[in-house]
Structure 1
Amino acid sequence: MAKALDEVRGDLVEDPRAGVPAGLATAAEGLVAEAVAVEVDIPDAASDGIRMSAGDFTLQIGLPHADTAGPSEHLPNGSTAYPSGTSSANAVIPTGDGVQLLSVITSADAAETFAYDLTMPAGHHLEATVDGGARIIDDEGVVKVEFEPAWAQDAAGVDVPTRYSVVGDTLTQTVDHREVAGVSYPVVADPLPVVVIVITAAALIVVAAAALGVATWIVVSWWNTCRAQNRYPQLSTIKGFTARCVR
């Protein structure tokens, strides 16, 4: 499995990183700023699922076909694999601001659908996005987690058609590896959830800039723009750096 991940071309497979500040909070007076790291719990048994948390937000992610997976194995690059006796297996990489979940498909006998059952706090729901990704938002419309658009690549570096579907709290990735002639196995496919930062106090600007790896003046500019609209800036490192104003 390590060889399959190492041979994925481009920057699609993330480098393992420890948690970085992502959930941000202040005391009621707004005088104390605290950065809350994203924590990722990767269990020994795939059937236990992956737990990702930041502050008071916790997301439990069930891995696809976990009932056929063996105990976890730690790969040389720092990721965790769940080998399987079937034609597909899971790999998990903590990314600092989230976690990368990879399906490694070893033959045409493997399934084409990979379902991730999500358990999230009350008042949150999963929805598809127009760019082919998905996101978790709360009842006020604030985005808490974003899933980047699906991708899949075969061993020759050729893209394999793939897409997400959302039914309730289940995100399913379909990989059409049987439908394409000449696919070179293994095929690696991925959903990547990232926790999103919402700044609710000026004292958090410097902390947010450090967490996102962007210049402080950029965060200040978004703070001023959003507060002029009586909103707050929502920032993330998805697709480089993205920002918008939310209530």
Structure 2
Amino acid sequence: MTFPLLASSRRSSALSLTALVAVSALLAPAAIAAEDPGPPTLAPKTVAEALENVERVDPTLLHDAVLEGAGTADLGSGSIVVPSDPSAGVRIGDGARTVIVDLPDSESAGRAAALADGGVVYPAAHSATSVVVGDRGVQMLTTIADAQAPADYSYDVTLAEGQRLELLGEGAAVVDADGGVALLIGAAWAIDADGDRIPTHYSVSGSTLTQTVDHTAPEVAYPVVADPAWLAPFVFKCMVGLGLNGAQIGLAATSGLPGSIGVALAKSIAACLTGK
């Protein structure tokens, strides 16, 4: 036997449950939309302005771009390939061998966006990587947007057989099995929006070069720009042909001076580029 009051109560409960489910279904999309979408992507315009600021502070720090957008730049007997997809890595070749450099956080970065003054940027949240090919090599610049960005930016280097990556002065080098230098990385630097230098250094673990940027001090003004500059292999070989030895070139390029690759070796680089 079903008591009328109990049956009515059951119907009321069922209706209430149905209504609750319906309301929940209506509210769910709104709740999802209200969730934090995450940090905004660092826009190419912001990156371009940060690079312009570095150039105003010290024009020797940035290369003049010889490649617009992604693609291949032929430099002497070698070439540098800048990918549209950041996960493909930057390829630095000397005609015989190619070193591939994987960019920081490439899996989460967007595809290449061209910068007005040449080069590309791979937009991402909190920080973004730009690649600028100049006549003496390639720069891989990190623009750091805020204090939530990481301090470490790692470049995984695919080496040829027998090669190794090691620190050299304030910079680093890819060294062949016989001890010869195949590729030089200039001294680490980082500059904030006020033009102040930010403490930074390299470390090496296996075939990974990491630049650490100590950017979280209260007085740091964002964005911060940091850079490893990679000297093109053909330029290095040409300077050896001019009579400089590997040790001299390496110490000059990794001396820790601002724009050291461009300044300390300017005459030799000019001779290699012009043939004079």
Equivalent runs, 1:2-151 vs 2, <5 Å: 2-8=48-54, 9-10=57-58, 11-17=60-66, 18-21=73-76, 36=77, 38-84=78-124, 86-129=125-168, 131-151=169-189
- Show the counterpart of 1:194: 231
CA–CA distance in structure 1, aligned partners of residues 118 and 229 of structure 2: 17
Structural RMSD (CA): 2.4
Higher percent of residues as helix: 2
In terms of mean alpha carbon deviation, does 38-47 or 151-160 score higher?
A: 38-47
**Alignment pair present for 1:181 and 2:218:** yes
Deviations along 1:118-168, one digit per CA (max 9) or x if unpaired, are: 002101100001x21100110111101111110000011000100000000
Structure number with larger C-alpha Rg = 2
CA–CA distance in structure 2, aligned partners of residues 233 and 70 of structure 1: 39
Mark the CA change 1:198 to 1:99 in structure 2 (over 3 Å): closer, same or farther.
closer
Which residue of 222, 229, 240 maps to 2:264? 240
Mark the CA change 1:56 to 1:169 in structure 2 (over 3 Å): closer, same or farther.
same
Q: Is the 8 A contact 1:144 1:195 kept in 2?
A: no
How many equivalent pairs are there? 200
- Show the counterpart of 2:28: none
Deviations along 1:75-106, one digit per CA (max 9) or x if unpaired, are: 1101111011x100000001123210000000
Mark the CA change 1:198 to 1:173 in structure 2 (over 3 Å): closer, same or farther.
closer
Gapped regions of structure 1 (runs ≥ 5): 22-35, 200-207, 213-217, 227-231
Q: Is the 8 A contact 1:104 1:188 kept in 2?
A: yes
**Alignment pair present for 1:160 and 2:198:** yes
State the one-letter code of the partner of 2:172: A
CA–CA distance in structure 2, aligned partners of residues 12 and 241 of structure 1: 13
The CA deviation at 1:198 is 6.4
> What is the DSSP-based 3-state SS (H/G/I as helix, E as strand, rest coil) of the residue aligned with 2:165?
strand
Q: Is the 8 A contact 1:39 1:53 kept in 2?
A: yes
> What is the DSSP-based 3-state SS (H/G/I as helix, E as strand, rest coil) of the residue aligned with 1:108?
coil
The CA deviation at 1:235 is 5.7
TM-score w.r.t. length of structure 2: 0.67
The CA deviation at 1:45 is 1.0
State the one-letter code of the partner of 1:4: A
Gapped regions of structure 2 (runs ≥ 5): 1-46, 67-72, 254-260, 269-276
CA–CA distance in structure 1, aligned partners of residues 170 and 162 of structure 2: 23
- Show the counterpart of 1:30: none
Higher percent of residues as strand: 1
The CA deviation at 1:7 is 0.7
Q: Is the 8 A contact 1:19 1:97 kept in 2?
A: no
State the one-letter code of the partner of 1:101: M
Among the aligned pairs, what percent are the same residue? 36
The CA deviation at 1:233 is 9.9
Mark the CA change 1:94 to 1:198 in structure 2 (over 3 Å): closer, same or farther.
closer
